[in-house]
Amino acid sequence: MKSLQGLGVALITPFNEDGTIDFPSLENLVNYNVDNGVDYLVVLGTTAETATLNSDEKKQVIEVIKKSNNKRLPLVLGIGGNNTVEVTKQIIDSDLEDFAAVLSVSPYYNKPTQEGIYQHFKTIAIQSPVPIIVYNVPGRTGSNMEAATTLRLANEVSNIIAIKEASPNYLQSTDIIKDKPFDFLVISGDDEFALPMTLAGGSGVISVLGQGMPEMVSKMIHFGQNKQVEESYKIHYDLHSLFRLIFKEGNPAGIKALLSVKGICKPYTRLPLIPASKSLISSIEKELEKISVLS
């Protein structure tokens, strides 16, 4: 699916100091990304603090993003969990008319076997009205979806079109890229691995930093897709410190700090997450100043 290549961004949910959703800032964020080179938007992923949103809030966030986007970019909706029947029901019951795909995380906490992971995604995919992007993030789920399982899904389940791969083992990503079907997308789920994975034959990234630095990250990925290695790595190393700073105190505290420095939203999170420290905000400010001088 060509529309889901390049730079996708996992949008945050901006909050006010009292914990309510800051919808005007969400609109600003969508427009900022649409206007600065992003290829598609991911709605209600982990970065959106979806676990802290109630069902009404999720519906409101979806509607605001759809309205702000106004069909300018493809949308992907996050629907995942560790109860296969419930995830399937949520997908079936959701209005997916405006979404190109569903992003669904590998079951967390239960720690299923590889066969269990395969059956979970197969069950979801065969009942979903839109394509599925599977999401492997062992650092959050407590289990790894091995390359062999991903390739089995890619070859045997036609409605599974991509993986967002966030394993810390880069070689696992290259194992998938090497043996995947031609039209199966391998999307980086880690900003630091985004460029090397793209150059190795991947399809881009679903990025956290990208929503705060959309112009630079999109140029980096697009240079990578065109095999313009020197140009792409120049940007990669300009952003190198920010890739790490925004995760230093957890996600999305870091990216919200960066966005607050840029005046796009406030830095507030919902418990159990807390906003970035003053020292981290200061470090991000200094790095942004350095990048503005470099560019």
Strands 204-207 and 6-10: parallel
Query: What was the pLDDT predicted at 152?
Result: 98
Instruction: State the CB neighbour count (10 A cutoff) for residue 13.
Output: 29
Query: What was the pLDDT predicted at 1?
Result: 66
Q: How do the domains of the chain map onto residue ranges?
A: 2-226
Q: How far, in Å, CA of 199 to CA of 204, rounded?
A: 9
The catalytically annotated residue of 66, 122, 164, 256 is 164
Query: What was the pLDDT predicted at 95?
Result: 95
Determine contact, residues 91/126, Cβ cutoff 8 Å: no
Give the distance, in angstroms, between the CA of residue 4 and the centroid of all CA atoms in the same chain.
12
Residue 44 has pLDDT above 70, yes or no: yes
The catalytically annotated residue of 40, 118, 135, 268 is 135
Query: What was the pLDDT predicted at 295?
Result: 56
Query: What was the pLDDT predicted at 205?
Result: 98
Query: What was the pLDDT predicted at 207?
Result: 98
Please say if 248 is a catalytic residue.
Answer: no
Residues 115-130: tens digit of each pLDDT: 999 999 999 999 999 9
> Once rounded to an integer, what is the mean pLDDT over residues 160-177?
97
Place of tokens 């942004």: 288
Residue 2 has pLDDT above 80, yes or no: no
Residues 50-80: tens digit of each pLDDT: 999 999 999 999 999 999 999 999 999 999 9
CA end-to-end span of the chain, whole Å? 33
> Once rounded to an integer, what is the mean pLDDT over residues 88-101?
97
> Once rounded to an integer, what is the mean pLDDT over residues 287-295?
82
pTM of the model: 0.96
CA atoms within a 13 Å half-sphere pointing along the CA-CB vector of 14: 23
Percent of the chain with pLDDT over 70: 99
Query: What was the pLDDT predicted at 292?
Result: 81
Residue 169 has pLDDT above 90, yes or no: yes
Residue 294 has pLDDT above 70, yes or no: no
Residues 189-227: tens digit of each pLDDT: 999 999 999 999 999 999 999 999 999 999 999 999 999
Q: How far, in Å, CA of 240 to CA of 294, rounded?
A: 13
What's the CATH superfamily of 2-226? Aldolase class I (3.20.20.70)
Percent of the chain with pLDDT over 90: 98
Please say if 164 is a catalytic residue.
Answer: yes
Query: What was the pLDDT predicted at 249?
Result: 98
